[in-house]
Structure 1
Amino acid sequence: MSIELVNEYGQHAVCVKVGGQVVLLDTPDVDGLIEELSKLRAHMQPAVPEQPLRSHQYVLEIDPCWYTERNPLFDGTVVFLRHTGLGWAGFAIPTESGHRLKAALCAHEAAAQRDAHVFTQALPN
């Protein structure tokens, strides 16, 4: 199997070759394929690890767009994060888990502020 980005008549497309078969996918087709593959992957074994693997180099999205909303049918917050390649992903975070997430983010921020303070104190005048 091979997958490559091509410029078909001025617009980008993805060319997928499997065996002797070739298919050209435009942007909506790629978005639909990613969404359908993610649904199928959710039911496959082995499952996606519950913790990030330290040995894997993940693609990081720097300063992603995000959106939150309350859902009256769910006790918690719905958070959407935008990845430029994967699209929007929604997460329904229960209230208690949201409190733990907030505490973890605040702890990271406090540590960054302490580190910055120690760094500026160590600079020569």
Structure 2
Amino acid sequence: MTTRLRLQRAQRLLKVQEQMRGLAERDLAQTRARVAKVEADRAAMLATLAGETLHGLFLESAARRLRALAGEAGDLAATAARQAETVRERGLAEKRAERQAEGLATLRAREREQAEMRDQLDLMVARAGTRPD
């Protein structure tokens, strides 16, 4: 396979890696926003509990809601940690693809330069051969 084709494939791979990292970052941002919302709900519930004296029925309901929010926050935190690792992995894969594309671009430029030199040399030899001595 020619260097030009390898470079084109590497550039396509780089674009895909960039998109995959972007999607992973978006998912992580959404999860972090959900974590923040759950934490805000917990804080609001605790503030409500601290400011009022609730009686049995309301207190039990509020405690159930707080436990549910705590469980959801824990699940979301675990999801966010997994997504952060995915973002890191996607970033590394993108950097590898970028380095590969840059290396192939350098190689392609070098090949073009060598081809131009060969063409110039061929032209010089051709001119020298047609010159009357």
- Judge same fold: TM > 0.5, yes or no: no
The structure showing larger relative contact order (alpha-carbon pairs under 8 Å, at least 6 residues apart) is 2
TM-score normalised by the chain length of structure 1? 0.30
Q: Considering fraction of residues, name the structure with more helix.
A: 2
TM-score normalised by the chain length of structure 2? 0.28
